[in-house]
Amino acid sequence: MTNVIPGGVGRVSPCRLVDLPEHSDPRGKLTVVQPGKGIDFEIRRAYYIHHIPQGAERGAHGHRRLRQVIVAVHGSFDVVVDDGFTQDKVTLDNPSRGLYVGPMVWRDMIDFAPGTVGLWLVSEPYDETEYYRDYETFLRDAKAMTGDLR
């Protein structure tokens, strides 16, 4: 397992870790989410997941256009990213460090610690037609889009 994206998973728009500005003083820490400060898209929607049952997994989909930054605001979980060619697993456990995931990346969220709260900052309104829910269809389109038709 790694905590970086060494080969650059995401042929269309590479995944990467994003540091959000953190302000620390004796009262605690404050993390800022602001476009232009680690986030290079307009945030048009946010949602968070919580009360995650032990052993639950989420994701199992890809997006055609959507860009997002995923943050473990509390607790931790792993994100498995797969662009149809390369896979990696990233552990999110720092509220001031997010994972950027661009279009044409299949993702699974696994191994949630008890009490985890995960925040998603995303570039598009919710649109189910924009999802890939079938891995074989995702794979076919990912290979065609990047010119690899093997």
Q: Residue written as tokens 């979980």?
A: 77
* CB contact at 8 A, 42 and 33: no
Q: Looking at beta carbons only, is 5 or 70 nearer to ligand T46?
A: 70
Least separation in angstroms between CB 49 and ligand T46: 5
Q: Looking at beta carbons only, is 61 or 140 nearer to ligand T46?
A: 61
Binding site for ligand T46 (CB under 6 A): 45, 47, 49, 58-59, 61, 109, 120, 126
Least separation in angstroms between CB 27 and ligand T46: 31
Q: Looking at beta carbons only, is 126 or 148 nearer to ligand T46?
A: 126
Return the structure tokens found at 89: 């697993």
C-beta pairs of 30-37 under 8 Å, 24+ apart in sequence: 31/95, 31/96, 33/121
Residue 61 bears catalytic tag: yes
Exactly one of 51, 61, 63, 74 is catalytic; name it: 61
From the list 64, 145, 54, 56, the residue with the least C-alpha distance to 108 is 56
